[in-house]
Amino acid sequence: MVRDETQQQASRHIDTPAQSLPTTPWPGIGAEQQLPERPQTHSLPQGRLILHKQENFYVSTVNRRHQRVHPLRKPTGVTSALPKILPQQQTRIADSETRRMPRLDTLNTTRRSRFPIPLWLETLGLLLVLVGIGLAHAYNMFNYPRYELDEGTYIASAWSILQGQLMPYAYGYAHPPAGWIQLATWIPLFNGFFAFGNALNTGRAIVLLYKLGSALLVYLITRRLSARRSLGLLAMVIFALTPLGITYQREIYLDNIAIFWFLLSLFLLVTGNSRLRAIIFSALTLGIAILSKEVLILLMPAMLYAVWLYTTSFQRKFALVAFGYTTLALCSAWILMALMRGEFFSYTWHLPWDNHAHLSLLQTILEQTKRTQSEGSLGTSFSQWMGLDSLLVVISIVAPVFNLVFGFRQRNQLLLSLLALSFWLLFIRGGVVFPYYIIPLIPLVAMNCAFTCATLARWISQVTRLPLLQGILVLLAIAAIVPYDILHAQPIYTHDYAQEQRQAMDWMREHLPRNTVVVIPPQYFVDMRVSGGEAVGAHSPFPKAQLFFNVATDPSIYHDQLKDNWQNIDYILVDPDVILHLNMIREVKGGSSILQQALKHSVERAHFYDISIYQVQHKI
């Protein structure tokens, strides 16, 4: 009975009224069943017709202009002929129910602002804030802090990329090369390495661009997650103006490059509205972040949770697989490179196909995991952090824990908490911790702090029953942070810690012969090996300048080039980094290298605070 009624109802929708039928019969059909007139079409602005429409979806035609259609494919509109051609089709259509698609609402739905601001005004204000952030980071950037060893290593590696090599010496797989490949990409745009005096100054100018991009992304992510501009501005100010951030985010560290790509990945994910294109691009940028600094792989589980949050329920499984596969596939390029170079497995394992000594990716990873806190401890780094910005260090612990507790109702808070706490695992694992390791944590702390302040302000406004008080308290927090940061950032803008290093380069330019073997830290490498460097000037470069670490540990240098003879070394530049690493090498290898032997037979020729230049006294 129900089936008969359903069939009759379907027939009423399929059959065409008699008065609209033409006089020409349809071939093969009785005269009583004639062709219906083609209904008058009303095109949409895009040239489409809606054929069927329900709450969550609609079916429309596709209109491609100037497309020729074969006559056999032209629609006839003979729906009444369907029972004759396919007898069971009418019953099947009548019995089936249209599947209702799930709702496409994602977690971060936008809401209308109580005080709407035009987009152009918001953009103008944002540009002014970015200009202020740029000035705060650029002022005295070339004088404070001093040029660090890792900065010289990465800028020297960028120079090697432009020469067709991964590094000046054998690539040891300490880090993936994507970070200094990006630095090398920027160098031609700055008209060479010495646009700002020396190579490290140019590198710091490049890092400033990444800093501004990261600050903008912190604002956009926080604004999207909270739907409030004031919270985005608060997170942006905390991230950009903290003395801790200004100190380490000025330097040429791979972390500053990687965190930009990570924030871009998170931004694409939370603003993608569950689109597959956004998910794939988010995965690609996360892969670039990991290839820029491998420690960001610690954030991968939390990012998978973000994919779960910001995709619709019927897309989640596919989105998780697509995101994870794309990220890991891109990261596997590093492993694939090691396999193709025959440097994945360690030579010490004596595998059948290994017949020559070489560096190894797996061996380097194992050595990295075995590094102890004797090289850099959490306690020492924590003391330096507290000296620069004790408030931010305390917030970096309190805010993520607060959001973890109260984030089960606000999943945005929970996500930010998981991201920050995931990176804390790097500090508490018991291995080596250098002070600059905190760089990726700073933007995560800034966003966590903004949400914590918003929660507290909301509670206060609910108690006082003053809704406007919530926004006022956030603005007061911004007004309090700016003078606090300026007060604690006085040394950053007044001290010149790089002066002695520039003086050492000037002295070598004027006093050292160009054909001598000079052993130097990485900070001076590009300026001594490339024409126009600060240690070269208008003269020819130093083609025999060598890095101290490779002279002490690389057989291709101390054995092949220097013939295991300390007398083939002419000058040595010594600073605290050189002394520290030589002592570490002595503990690991035992005995003394030719570099240490040369130091025993040398005399000091110049001294600049904690930098000394020694001349080796050769035996006749």
Tell me: do 602 and 487 sit in the same domain. no
Tell me: do 343 and 237 sit in the same domain. yes
Given 494, 527, 558, the domain boundary residue is 494
Tell me: do 481 and 518 sit in the same domain. no
Q: How far is CA 174 from the centre of its chain?
A: 19
Tell me: do 409 and 533 sit in the same domain. no
Among all chains, which residue has been given the structure tokens 């040394």? 491
Beta strands 611-616 and 602-608 are antiparallel
d(CA 465, CA 470): 10
What angle, rounded to 10 degrees, do the helices at 149-162 and 178-186 form?
70
Residue 103: inside a domain = no
d(CA 6, CA 1): 9
| pLDDT at residue 56, as a whole number | 67
| pLDDT at residue 207, as a whole number | 97
Tell me: do 466 and 517 sit in the same domain. no
Tell me: do 515 and 452 sit in the same domain. no
What number of CA atoms fall less than 13 Å from residue 45's CA on the CB side? 0
| pLDDT at residue 32, as a whole number | 44
Q: Which secondary structure element, helix H or strand E, spans residue 603, and what is its range?
A: strand 602-608
Contact 102, 161 (CB under 8 A): no
Tell me: do 27 and 49 sit in the same domain. yes
Nearest residue to 589 (alpha-carbon basis) of 550, 548, 553: 553
d(CA 310, CA 270): 6
Phi-psi region of 563 (alpha: psi -120 to 50; beta: other; left: phi over 0): left
φ, ψ (nearest 5 deg) of residue 378: -65, -40
Tell me: do 13 and 162 sit in the same domain. no
d(CA 57, CA 177): 47
d(CA 440, CA 515): 43
DSSP designation for 54: -
| pLDDT at residue 24, as a whole number | 43
Task: Give, in order, the Cα–Cα distances in Å from 499 to each of 348, 400, 494, 508, 548.
Answer: 45, 39, 13, 15, 22
Nearest residue to 501 (alpha-carbon basis) of 573, 599, 551: 573
Residue 110: inside a domain = no
Tell me: do 542 and 420 sit in the same domain. no
Contact 414, 404 (CB under 8 A): yes
> Quick one: tokens of 609?
């605070």
Tell me: do 399 and 444 sit in the same domain. yes
| pLDDT at residue 353, as a whole number | 81
> Which residues, at least 6 apart from 244, have a Cβ–Cβ distance to it below 8 Å?
385, 388, 389, 392, 393, 438, 442
Q: Which secondary structure element, helix H or strand E, spans residue 196, and what is its range?
A: none
> Quick one: tokens of 111?
């809401």
Tell me: do 512 and 550 sit in the same domain. yes
> Which residues, at least 6 apart from 160, have a Cβ–Cβ distance to it below 8 Å?
166, 167, 168
Which residues form the domain of 28? 2-65+77-91
Among all chains, which residue has been given the structure tokens 């739905």? 109
Where residue 527 sits, what CATH number does that domain have? 3.40.50
Residue 105: inside a domain = no
Residue 112: inside a domain = no
Residue 229 bridge partners (DSSP) = none
| pLDDT at residue 468, as a whole number | 79
Give the 3-state secondary structure of residue 388.
helix
Tell me: do 512 and 368 sit in the same domain. no
Q: What is the CA radius of gyration of the chain?
A: 33
Given 474, 494, 514, the domain boundary residue is 494
d(CA 454, CA 301): 26
φ, ψ (nearest 5 deg) of residue 181: -65, -40
Concatenated DSSP letters for 528-586?
HHSTT-TTTTTS---TT-EEHHHHHH-HHHHTTTTTT-GGG--EEEE-HHHHHHHHHHH
- pLDDT tens-digit map of 62-87: 555 555 655 555 555 555 555 555 56
- Measured from the Cβ of residue 40, the count of other Cβ atoms closer than 10 Å reads 5
Residue 107: inside a domain = no
| pLDDT at residue 109, as a whole number | 53
Q: How many domains are contained in the chain?
A: 3
Q: Which secondary structure element, helix H or strand E, spans residue 612, and what is its range?
A: strand 611-616
Residue 303: inside a domain = yes
Residue 108: inside a domain = no
| pLDDT at residue 120, as a whole number | 86
ω into 145 cis (within 30 of 0)? yes
Residue 313: inside a domain = yes
Task: Provide the greatest CA pair distance for the chain.
Answer: 122
> Quick one: tokens of 485?
């940061």
Ranges of the chain with pLDDT below 50:
1-36, 38-45, 97-98, 101
DSSP designation for 44: -
